[in-house]
Chain A
Amino acid sequence: MSEEVSAEILTTHILDLAAEGKRLDGRAPDEYRPVTVEPGFVVTADGSALVRIGDTAVVAGIKLEPGKPFADTPNAGVLTTNAELIPLSNAIFEPGPPQPGAIEVSRVVDRAIRAAETIDLTRLCVTPGEKSWVCYVDVHVLDHSGNLIDAAALAAVSALAHATVPALRFEVAEADYPLEVVHFPIECTFVRLGDTIVVDPTFDEERAAQGRLTVATDEAGRVVAMQKGLVGAFSPDDVKGVVRRAFQHGERLRALARGGSA
Chain B
Amino acid sequence: MGSVGAKEVPVLLSPDGLRIDGRRLDELRPMKLSVGALHNADGSAFVEWGANKVMAAVYGPREVHPRHLQQNHKAVIQCKYNMAAFSVDERKRPGLDRRSQEISKVIGEAFESVVFAEEYPRTSIDIYIEVLQANAGTRCAGLVAASLALADAGIPMVDLLPAVAVGKVAGKIALDLKKEEDNFGEADLPMALVPQSGRLVLLQMEGHMTEPELSEALDLGVQGCRAIYEKMKEALRERYAVGPVGGSS
Contact = CB atoms under 8 A, between A and B. Distances in A.
B206 A236 contact: no
Interface of A: 69, 72-76, 98, 100-101, 103-104, 106-107, 111, 114-116, 121-122, 125, 211, 213, 221-236, 238-240, 243-244, 247
B200 A233 contact: yes
Interface of B: 1-2, 4-6, 98-99, 101-102, 104-106, 109, 112-113, 189, 194, 197-211, 214-215, 218-219, 222
A248 to B, nearest CB: 12
Given A103-B105, A111-B206, 13 more contacts: A73-B5, A101-B105, A223-B205, A223-B208, A225-B205, A225-B207, A226-B203, A226-B204, A227-B203, A228-B106, A235-B197, A239-B203, A244-B211
A228 B209 contact: no
A213 B214 CA distance: 15
Q: Which 4 pairs, one residue from A and one from B, show the smallest C-beta to C-beta distance?
A: A226-B205, A233-B199, A75-B5, A228-B203
Contacts of B204: 226-228
Binding site of B, secondary structure by majority: helix, strand, loop or mixed? mixed
Nearest to B5: A75
A222 B1 CA distance: 15
A243 B5 contact: no
Nearest to A70: B5
Binding site of A, secondary structure by majority: helix, strand, loop or mixed? mixed
Contacts of B222: 236
A72 B214 CA distance: 30
Given A224-B208, A229-B109, A236 B102 contact: no
A234 to B, nearest CB: 5
A244 B189 CA distance: 17
A240 B218 contact: yes
A70 to B, nearest CB: 9
Contacts of A74: 5
A233 B205 contact: no
B106 A229 contact: yes
Contacts of A121: 4-5
Contacts of A243: 211, 214
Contacts of A111: 206
Contacts of A236: 198, 200, 218-219, 222
A2 B205 CA distance: 39
Contacts of A101: 105
Contacts of A239: 200, 203, 218
Given A223-B209, A224-B208, A230-B109, A103 B102 contact: yes
Residue in A75, A111, A226 with the greatest tally of chain B CB atoms within 10 Å:
A226
Residue in A115, A221, A228 with the greatest tally of chain B CB atoms within 10 Å:
A228
Nearest to B3: A73
A245 B113 CA distance: 25
Nearest to B222: A236
B163 to A, nearest CB: 12
Contact of B203 (A76, A213, A224): A213
A235 B198 contact: yes
18 contacts: A72-B6, A100-B102, A103-B102, A104-B106, A107-B98, A115-B206, A122-B4, A223-B214, A224-B208, A226-B203, A226-B205, A227-B203, A232-B113, A233-B113, A236-B218, A239-B200, A239-B218, A247-B211
